[in-house]
Amino acid sequence: METTAKHNATAQDWTRLQTVIMRLYLDEDKTLEEVKSYMEEHHDFTTTISMYKKKLAGWNAFKNLRPDEVLQILYVKKNRDAAQKPSIFFIRDRRVDFDALQVYLSRNPSVFAKLEAGVKPNPEAVRDVSCRSPPSNQLTLVARPRSHMPSCPSPTVRCNRLLPTSEDMLRALPIYLERCFETGLWSWSASGCWNTRGRHGPSGLLSSILDRCITAGLSTTRQVEPSALRRALDAPFAMLIRVFRNPPPILIPKLLATAAHLNRIGRGEIQGLLLRFCRDLTTAMYGQDHQLTIFWKSLVSISHPDQQEAIERVLALCVSEFDKRLGLAHALTTETYLKYFDVAERVKDPRTQLQSLQQRLSKVDINLTGRSLYGLLKLEHALATCKSNLDVGQLDEAEGALSCFEPGSLATRDESFRCIWLGYLQCLKGDFIAAEEFYKKSVLAARRTGSRDCLLEALFQLETFFIHSGKPLEAERIRIGRFRLLHKLGSLVWVDQDDILGLEDTSSSGPVVTLIHVGSGASSARWRPSAFAEVTEYAEAASPVP
């Protein structure tokens, strides 16, 4: 420490310690509270948070990206891509982190609309943004406009190491899987694998739980009241207790894919809550020495920057383990591969994605894998083809890759996702009438899933489209309906059918969706199908808003 007595910062102190403050705030990514505490402890530098904000603004030390800066990056990148020049970008001589840029673009799709409309950034942004060619071993960014839409950011350079605790995790996982198969907790056939105490029910409930977590994560950036957000998280966390008492075979892959997704959309704090809850839950249920407890404790103990790599390795290991026991074409192996693809392969170049997906498709038998999983594999292949065409400016070919699906070939949830991409492509082509139709079709498909979580995301995409197509009143109407729907999120609901497109009932003009409503309390010791009420509901397909 420089002195023994603390004193209020002077102008000379600010000048003398400017480099230290900027290093802590920008390079080490500390919060202002953390910077303040560090400076008081190590430099006897005492001032207020508001003074930090004022000084940092005066130094142009902005941690968060600003719209015009991002717009200027996209303009420069568009021109350099046309000349086939790879790029790395700097704002005021500080290198732009592509992961942070990807998160910004996913939350602010209006930047793409400004780019297509020819809106020019302000002169300060043009002055502050610079570009250089990267080393040959680094790839460039291709950004997409949707928070949970597949995207291709450049892979970050990772060191081939994991912390020592993660080795415990990688040893514990195969032991846990082996015991589940050996003890008869899991049963399997040529095409399916399930928990003997619940067959498909526990996996369906887990999917609904994780959908709710993602819905809550997406809502935190949309001015949702804290009480509504807390209710949205309380229900899935409570029901995780039931799932862990009767773990389905897909438990770990689904949880890790969701954790990675939460981090990708900028909700690292919810990711941390989810992982720590899993750790505490297994410790309380099974004790310190259980392999599942060791797995979650080891994962949580890994520092946040290394967790993504650890999750990728775990998912790759799960694919390998299920392949070894069940075969490459088995439904569980395929579903786990899709989780791995979402986390690890999606960030790679589209051509690399196509190679991985083509190899997987060549090994899959639709009769064993099932129509919904096979359809999802085909959709992922079409999306990779679409992105590859977009990279070279071939909009018609990109649209064609997603337009070749037969009605009913995709599960309704995936059809909703496909329609959002088609709407985005129409926006790029400037056909906003066609784009609006696709976004509305996405909402209709989301309604047919019976999942309010899926519907909330589709409504958000429609609302965003209206904002950027110059229809603020329509956007506000959707927003009000979406917030009302968020407040109505109560018991967890999921569709008890994989493929519901084309289901019809003679008594109704709309598709029939069978839903399972959670009816028993979270304290039940076992999965009891009799405690859940089955009802048949008819999807209302007349209007795209609630």
pLDDT tens sequence across 27-86: 676 778 888 888 888 888 888 888 888 887 777 666 667 788 888 888 888 888 778 788
Residues 95 and 74 in one domain: yes
Say what angle helices 452-468 and 110-117 make with each other, to 10 degrees: 30
pLDDT per position as a tens digit, 494-541 = 443 433 333 334 344 444 444 444 433 444 434 343 333 333 333 333
How many domains, in total, are found in the chain? 2
Range of the domain at 89: 67-132
pLDDT at residue number 292: 94
13 found inside a domain: yes
Rounded to an integer, the average pLDDT of 359-374 is: 87
Closest among 148, 35, 154 to 97, alpha carbons compared: 154
pLDDT at 341: 94
**Among 465, 179, 498, which Cα is nearest to 331's?**
498
Q: Counting Cβ atoms within 10 Å, is residue 92 exposed (0-12), middle (13-18) or buried (19+)?
A: middle
- Residues 94, 123, single domain; the answer is yes
The answer to whether residues 119 and 75 belong to one domain is yes
pLDDT at 113: 62
In terms of DSSP bridges, do strands 7-8 and 45-46 run parallel, antiparallel, or are they unpaired?
A: parallel
Token digits of residue 417: 């996702």
Q: Are residues 80 and 54 in the same domain?
A: no
Q: Which of 79, 108, 132 is the last residue of a domain?
A: 132
Average pLDDT of 213-226?
69
Query: CB atoms < 10 A from the CB of 352, how many?
Result: 15
Nearest-Å Rg of the Cα atoms of the chain is 25
Tell whether 26 is covered by a domain.
yes
How much of the chain, in percent, has pLDDT values that exceed 70? 74
Query: 175: pLDDT confidence band, cut at 50, 70 and 90?
Result: very high
- By 3-state DSSP, what share of the chain in percent is helix, strand and coil, each rounded to 5? 60, 5, 30
The reported pLDDT for the residue numbered 140 is 36
Q: Tell me the pTM.
A: 0.63
Residue 235 has pLDDT above 90, yes or no: no
**Are 125 and 81 within one domain?**
yes
Predicted pLDDT of residue 227: 65
Claim to verify: residue 76 and residue 118 sit in the same structural domain: yes
pLDDT band at 222 (very low <50, low <70, confident <90, very high): low
Three-class SS state of 187: strand
Which regions of 29-144 does DSSP assign to beta strands (E)?
A: 45-46, 88-91, 94-95, 129-132
The model's pLDDT over 318-343, given as tens digits with 9 standing for 90+, comes to 998 999 899 988 999 999 999 999 99
CB 466 within 8 A of CB 472: yes
- Tracing tokens 């071993």 back to the chain, one arrives at 137
pLDDT tens-digit readout, 103-116: 666 556 567 667 76
Domain final position from 107, 132, 157 = 132
CA atoms 432, 433, 438, 441: torsion sign:
positive
Residue 359, both tokens: 């190899």
Determine, yes or no, domain membership for 116: yes
Cα–Cα separations (whole angstroms), residue 331 to 192, 251, 257, 338, 499:
6, 15, 17, 11, 15
The answer to whether residue 155 scores a pLDDT higher than 50 is no
Q: Evaluate if residue 102 carries a pLDDT over 60.
A: yes
Cα distances from 469 to residues 2, 121, 357, 403, in angstroms, run 57, 19, 35, 23
Same domain, 81 and 128: yes
Q: Is residue 23 part of a domain?
A: yes
Instruction: Tell me if 86 is assigned to some domain.
Output: yes
For residue 125, being part of any structural domain is answered with yes
Listed residues 110, 132, 154: the one ending a domain: 132
Let me know if residue 277 belongs to a domain.
Answer: no
Q: Percent of the chain scored above 90 by pLDDT?
A: 27
Q: Which of 117, 121, 38 is nearest to 76 (CA)?
A: 121
Say if 44 falls within a structural domain: yes
Residue 6: pLDDT band by 50, 70, 90 thresholds?
low
